Amino acid sequence: MPKGIRRGLLLVAAAGLAAGFAAAPAQAAPADRAADRPTPAAAPAVDAAAQLAAATGITRDQAVQRLATQAKNVPLADRLTKQLGARTGGAYFEPSGALVVTVTAAADAAVVTRAGAKAKVVERSAGELAAIKTALDKAGGVANSTWGIDTAANKVVLSVPADAPRATAVEKAAARFGAAVSITRTARPVAPHNDIAGGDPLYHSSGGRCSTGFNVRAGATRYVLTAGHCTALGGTWNNYAGLYIGPSVGSYFPGQDHGLIRIDSSLPQIPGVYLYNGGFQTITSAGSGYPGLYACKSGSTTGLTCGTVLATNVTVNYAQGPVYGTDQTTICSQPGDSGGSYFTGATALGLVSGGTTSGCNSAFRSYFQPVIPALSYWGVALV
């Protein structure tokens, strides 16, 4: 039994008692089963390039080049930030796909440039920014407030609902850090998108729908990794063709947003993500998101959508409680996409958690549970 399952079962019971949060998503995401979904063949390229070109006005060839540059630089970002440790404020991507690694001492800039990235000297380390964010986490926020680290600006960004009382506890905590925290007020509410390849629909025994994140296993036992606010419903799940998958066996929500469905049937696990264009993207590894990264998600409501990572390690305060450490992005997601695959190229990044409820316009923000903490918590590995 994977680590965390026993605790997760308790969370299923507790989260299932939350004030009706599952009912509205179930209504918002009616069954729309694609029973004729094709089986995997030679996977075509992810259609991220077309979406990137349309969103930015660059040519498709330029979009393809940017995505290729990104794919090369994601592991470089991991290596350099680990190597620099306390001497970096983190890494982010420019619109061109170029990697920028921040350093707190000019002497370290040469380390970054020799490795093939751009260097930027900043005032605060990633550890200092994380400590500020932790202080805000401890202060607690009102529903619909969010806060996280803006790596490019080298500060923590706090967003509070426009209709919240003035001088909330989290704003008072933020004031202690002066210019290291910027505060804005917004009218955009946030909510979990609650509603066997990654992105496929998952139909709950209650009639609700979520989406597959990634196929995983622990030894010989097979699981679907999806959103914790989905598996918190308990019950059992069927796949896109109405075939039985198995029961919810663990949930971590709120706090984080991931959970497991045990595969008790003979359904095969696909090591990839369905792209809603007849093809699949193979997934070969798990990684982290970075600000500026252009990434995609696959979910059973909005299909394949792509956008930009705005911030990482963001706390989002849903009505059901806070979820810590999310990636905030511009990627469109809607109810029923919950748990869906968040990825860049062949790298798994995370799972759809929720988003603002104003629709997928220029002000839309979505929030993703990172995949690495989820895999670690449950003690499972990608298939």
Output the pLDDT for position 196.
67
Catalytic residue among 145, 193, 204, 229: 229
Q: Do the beta carbons of residue 174 and residue 136 sit within 8 Å?
A: yes
Instruction: Specify the pTM.
Output: 0.83
For residue 50, what are its two tokens? 């077309």
Output the pLDDT for position 308.
96
pLDDT at 23 over 90: no
Output the pLDDT for position 165.
80
Output the pLDDT for position 136.
96
Output the pLDDT for position 56.
87
pLDDT at 18 over 60: no
Report angle CA 104, 106, 111 to the nearest 5 degrees: 95
Is 362 among the residues known to form the active site?
Answer: no
Output the pLDDT for position 320.
92
- For residue 118, what pLDDT band results from cuts at 50, 70 and 90? very high
Beta partners for residue 18, in sequence order: none
Is 257 among the residues known to form the active site?
Answer: yes
How far is 382 from 223, CA to CA, in rounded Å?
10
Q: Do the beta carbons of residue 330 and residue 364 sit within 8 Å?
A: yes
Give the tens place of pLDDT for each residue, 129-149.
999 999 999 998 788 899 999
pLDDT at 309 over 50: yes
Catalytic residue among 257, 298, 300, 341: 257
Q: Percentage of the chain with pLDDT > 70?
A: 87
Q: Which amino acid is at 317?
A: N
Is 229 among the residues known to form the active site?
Answer: yes
- For residue 161, what pLDDT band results from cuts at 50, 70 and 90? confident
pLDDT (average), residues 24-43: 36
The domains of the chain, with CATH numbers, are 5-30+191-382 (2.40.10.10), 126-189 (3.30.300)
Give the tens place of pLDDT for each residue, 42-63.
334 447 888 899 888 899 999 9
Output the pLDDT for position 140.
87
Choose among 302, 321, 306: nearest CA to 228: 321
Between residues 85 and 276, the one the model is more confident about: 85
pLDDT (average), residues 333-343: 95
Catalytic residue among 338, 341, 353, 366: 338
pLDDT (average), residues 2-11: 36
